[in-house]
Amino acid sequence: MNELIAIFRRELAGYFATPLAFVFIVIFLFTMGAFTFYMGGYFESNQADLSIFFNFHPWLYLFLIPAISMRLWAEERRTGSIELLLSLPVPLWSAVLGKFLAAWVFSGIALLLTFPVWLTVNYLGDPDNGAVLAGYIGSFLMAGGYLAIGSCLSAITSNQVIAFVISVVVCFLFTVSGLPIVIDFFSGWAPQQVVNTIASFSFLTHSQAITQGVIDLRDFIFFATLIAAWLVACGIVVDMKKAG
């Protein structure tokens, strides 16, 4: 546990050691505000809620989260510091989990800094703050899912750009798998059980219910299982690269 905390602190401090973290947070907050109040037409909707705000999260995360995850292991491999890290008396699971948690907390900090949007909605109307809180929880879980995928794919290559592109593609597939256009494509030739399985992996399907204030244990289990599975895969990849 001490090793995990040490890696977590090292990684989290690393984000703020350069201006990159602050640039990311500024871009995240600017785009989130612009999408919600301008492109999303919040004021024209005349609704005191944050459904428009949360509806944009999957699409913003699709690019912003891989930008965080691409450096997790690719940078370590590029600089050669991964050999030093793995040669230390640190369990592999501590390194994988510590890096992931640091990135997840960093994305959570960026998400929390959108609180002025929540304050603005309360100033303009009387929203269901319980639903808003559930939306933040759902968004945080979704960010964790994207990060777990990106972390594993970052371990495959030493090139951060390649890690970013692959992560965007894979996360995009998980995002759109439940959309009608995808379901209709598979419904024409695939068994219904296969179609239902594909749809069940959609981030949109699982996050929308939470962001609307509906707390379903199955959605939490989905994200927890997905995060665990991709982190285990990440550990396997890192171990294989070490052995190679």
The pLDDT value given to residue 105: 94
The pLDDT value given to residue 211: 67
pLDDT over 90 at 229, yes or no: yes
Q: How many whole angstroms separate alpha carbon 147 and alpha carbon 164?
A: 11
The pLDDT value given to residue 213: 65
φ, ψ of residue 37 to 5 degrees: the values are -90, -20
Residue 117 belongs to domain spanning: 2-243
- Looking at the structure of the chain, the number of domains it has is 1
Render pLDDT for 78-136 as a digit per residue (tens, 0 to 9): 766 666 666 667 788 888 899 999 999 999 999 999 888 888 888 877 777 888 888 88
pLDDT over 80 at 244, yes or no: no
Show the DSSP H helices in the chain as ranges.
2-15, 20-34, 42-45, 51-55, 57-69, 71-79, 81-87, 92-112, 115-124, 129-154, 160-176, 180-187, 192-200, 203-211, 217-243
